[in-house]
Amino acid sequence: MLKLSIFTALKIPLKTKSCLLYLVLSVTTPCLASVFQLTDPKLAIVGEDQQIQTVYEDTLYDLARHYSLGSEELIRVNPGIDPWLPGADKTLFVPGRHILPSGPHTGIIVNLPEHRLYYYPKVKRGQPQVLVTFPVSIGKMDWHTPIGLTHVISKIKNPSWYPPEGVRAEHAAAGDTLPPVVPPGPDNPLGAFALRLAAGNGTYLIHGTNNPIAVGLAVTHGCIRMYPEDIESLFAQVPNGTEVRIINEPIKVAWVDGELLLEAHPPVDAEGQSYEPNVDQFAQLLREAVGDSTVAIHWDYAEEVLRQADGRLAVVGLEADLN
């Protein structure tokens, strides 16, 4: 287990007026957004894990939203716990540590296997860079979320939903007839805020939801779905033209104080569906991360971490001292 002293990111309390990114909190389901100051440009990991005790009224879905996690993200690391009726006085693991995704720390990055969005606002002169991260839902069968570089072309408050013909046919087959237009309101699956992306000629959105339990799953028709309070916060911060990079990075690795850490998530295919992790892919990524360094790797443990792919960070190697 890593000591918390390795984390130089500072978590910003959202309830203070001085916070850089304000998240609108629900009275009944408060959400603790993960907002960090990146005080060191070499920082590879942010956040911290927690253990909590349940009370009788808890569900894992409510707790996931409270701790800024997708529902599956919390369920996966607490096997054997009933997500609807966990019961009182159960000890739950709450994953909060994240290895930063590869590439430049600018704009929005959505890592599909991780079901997580990272936003790097433009740096203000004399201030450290800030990172805010949220759980998201991604595309499901035959409605894959596009991978690559795009950007925000418009911001829409109280959007109407125009169901594509294929979506209307899907609902009709299930006995549910959709109208040509769904106006703003509680029945609108886009929620109250949407960011339109250039990808797909403007057909892809980052938007809210009227079904927050599903955040963190591959359940959308290609769009990126967020908790209502999260999209409201992001909507207020993101200007038009913001770069959006959508990546498929199921395995992330980082060096911290001579320790090699691995973070593995279930890989997703072009339709957004998870599949069994590939050990060979992991080994190649690990070799790239190690480079010319001399490292002792616990391969059996590393492969077990990959097979579980539950997102928990694990130390799988140590830098060797040849002196």
Q: Render each residue's pLDDT in the chain as its tens digit; 323 residues.
A: 232 322 334 343 333 333 333 333 333 344 555 889 998 888 999 999 999 999 999 999 999 999 999 999 999 999 999 999 999 999 999 999 999 998 899 999 999 999 999 999 999 888 889 999 999 998 764 556 778 899 999 999 999 988 777 777 777 777 777 778 889 999 899 999 999 999 888 889 999 999 999 898 777 777 899 999 999 999 999 999 999 999 988 889 888 888 989 999 988 766 556 666 677 776 776 677 667 667 788 888 988 998 888 999 999 988 776 55
CA dihedral 48, 49, 51, 55 (to 10 degrees): 90
Please, are residues 261 and 45 in contact by the beta-carbon 8 Å criterion? yes
Q: What is the pLDDT of residue 162?
A: 83
Name residue 81's amino acid: I
Q: Which of these is catalytic: 207, 221, 265, 298?
A: 207
| CA-closest candidate to residue 118, choices 193, 177, 45 | 45
Q: What is the largest CA-CA distance in the chain?
A: 72
Q: What is the pLDDT of residue 88?
A: 95
Annotation says 31 is catalytic? no
| CA-closest candidate to residue 135, choices 159, 155, 157, 110 | 110
In angstroms, the CA 49 to CA 77 distance is 11
| Matching residue, tokens 């002196």 | 323
User: Residue 205 pairs with which residues in a beta bridge?
Assistant: 196
Instruction: Report the predicted TM-score, pTM, of the whole model to 2 decimal places.
Output: 0.85
Q: What is the pLDDT of residue 118?
A: 98
Q: Give whole-number Cα distances, 275 to 105, 146, 262, 267, 309, in Å.
A: 28, 18, 19, 6, 11
3-class DSSP assignment, residue 11: strand
Annotation says 144 is catalytic? no
Q: Which of these is catalytic: 66, 98, 115, 223?
A: 223
Please, are residues 86 and 59 in contact by the beta-carbon 8 Å criterion? yes
Q: What is the pLDDT of residue 129?
A: 92
